Amino acid sequence: MDVLEQTYFKREFYYNKKLVERFIYIIQNSEGKRAAAFKNLVFKMMKDIVIKNVNNYLNLLSATNIAQLPERDEVISDCYIIFDKCVDGYKVNNGYNFYFYFNKSLSRNFFRNYTKEQKRGNSHMLIDEEMTYDLNFRVRPVSNTVEILVEHLGFNEQERRLIKSKIDKQTMTEFLKENPDMTRTQYLQMVEEIQERIQELKEKDIL
C-alpha cells in the first residue's frame, strides 16, 4: 500500500449521508484546522469510490501504449484535488448525495484524462475501436475493457445491464425475461436515453 493510501485508508470510516451533510456544512463555514480535520474525515469515508476509480483508471491506462503508468499515490492525490473542489461546490441539504456526486466527478475526470492520454500517444482510441455505437444501437466487437469504460461514462446499474445485453446480442424478449424488474416501455425508453447520451458524449469529443 502506498503512502497516501496508507495514510487515508488504513482504517475504515463508513459513509453516513447525514453526517457527511453536516460535516460539509461545517467545512464550508469554517477555516483552518477545524475545516481541514472534517475534510480529511469525509475523504476517508470516500475510500470505496476512491479505490474503485483509481483501480479502474490504472486498468484503462495499462491497456494503452502509455510509456509509464502514474503512481497510485499520484492518482489518489488527484482524487483529493477533485474531492476538494466537490466539497466547495456541493449544495448541502438540497436532497443530493455527496457520495454519488463525488463518484461521478471522479469518473468523468479520469475518463477525460484517459482519452487525453490516448490522443497524446497517437494510438487508436479503445472507445472508438471497441464500443462504437451506430444509430440503431448496435455494438461492434468489444473487449473486457468495455465494462470499465461504461462505468466511467456514468451509466447506472440498469443501463449497464442493458448495454451488456446489446454487446451479447440479446433480443429485447430475452433481456426482459432475464430482467423482470424492467418493462418493455422502460427498455425502449432506456435505449433511447442511452443513444442520446452517447450522441452528447460524441458532440463533446469525449467519445
Q: Residue 194: its pLDDT value, please?
A: 82
- 23-75 confidence digits (pLDDT tens): 999 999 988 889 999 999 999 999 999 999 999 888 888 877 666 788 888 89
Q: Residue 207: its pLDDT value, please?
A: 54
Q: Residue 138: its pLDDT value, please?
A: 42
Q: Is this prediction's pTM over 0.75?
A: no
Q: Residue 206: its pLDDT value, please?
A: 54
Q: Residue 143: its pLDDT value, please?
A: 44
- List the one residue out of 80, 70, 91 whose CA is nearest residue 47: 80
Contact residues for 62 (Cβ-Cβ < 8 A; gap 6+): 69
Whether the per-residue pLDDT at 125 is higher than 90: the answer is no
Whether the per-residue pLDDT at 142 is higher than 70: the answer is no
Q: Residue 45: its pLDDT value, please?
A: 93
Q: Residue 134: its pLDDT value, please?
A: 39
Q: What cell numbers appear for 113 in the block?
A: 484524462
At 7, is the pLDDT very low, low, confident or very high (cuts 50, 70, 90)? confident
3-state per-residue secondary structure call for the chain: CCHHHHHHHCCCCCCCHHHHHHHHHHHHCCCHHHHHHHHHHHHHHCHHHHHHHHHHHHHHHHCCCCCCCCCHHHHHHHHHHHHHHHHHHCCCCCCCCHHHHHHHHHHHHHHHHHHHHHHHCCCCCHHHHHCCECCCCCECCCCCHHHHHHHHCCCCHHHHHHHHHHHCCCCHHHHHHHCCCCCHHHHHHHHHHHHHHHHHHHHCCCC
Whether the per-residue pLDDT at 129 is higher than 90: the answer is no
Q: What cell numbers appear for 93 in the block?
A: 441539504
Q: Residue 189: its pLDDT value, please?
A: 83
